[in-house]
Amino acid sequence: MGTYEWPDEWMLLGDRTRRSIVECLAERPLAVGELADLLPVSRPAVSQHLKVLKEAGLVSEHAVGTRRIYHLDPVAVSALRDQLDTFWSRALSGYEQTVNQPEEKP
């Protein structure tokens, strides 16, 4: 199992296909063929994207017979969520400070 690393995962999710894979895996674990059936890309392309996501620690796999089933790593997803929550809290705090500043008189 990979270890979650910041900040590369945010850049990885900038790719539309990888985001789509993550969205599919958020619903349920899937095999490469199942993902390829859901996406407008080939099986080899799905495999390449899964390799990148796996190396980044966002996706894990386990064997079921001869198939590899991929799923999101809950620790990595939780870490991404924490980062997003931190970013969002800071943005809202900055907005609140800006809004609550006394109005300057000309």
pLDDT value at 20 more than 90: yes
pLDDT value at 104 more than 70: yes
**What integer is the mean pLDDT of 62-68?**
94
pLDDT value at 67 more than 50: yes
**What integer is the mean pLDDT of 28-53?**
96
pLDDT value at residue 3: 53
Domains in the chain, ordered, with CATH? 8-99 (1.10.10.10)
pLDDT value at residue 24: 97
Paired sense of beta strands 67-72 and 59-64, if any: antiparallel
Helix (H) or strand (E) segment spanning residue 70: strand 67-72
pLDDT value at residue 86: 82
Among left, alpha and beta (phi > 0; psi -120 to 50; other), residue 102 is beta
pLDDT value at residue 8: 64
- Give the integer Cα–Cα distance in Å for 14 and 11: 5
**What integer is the mean pLDDT of 13-40?**
95
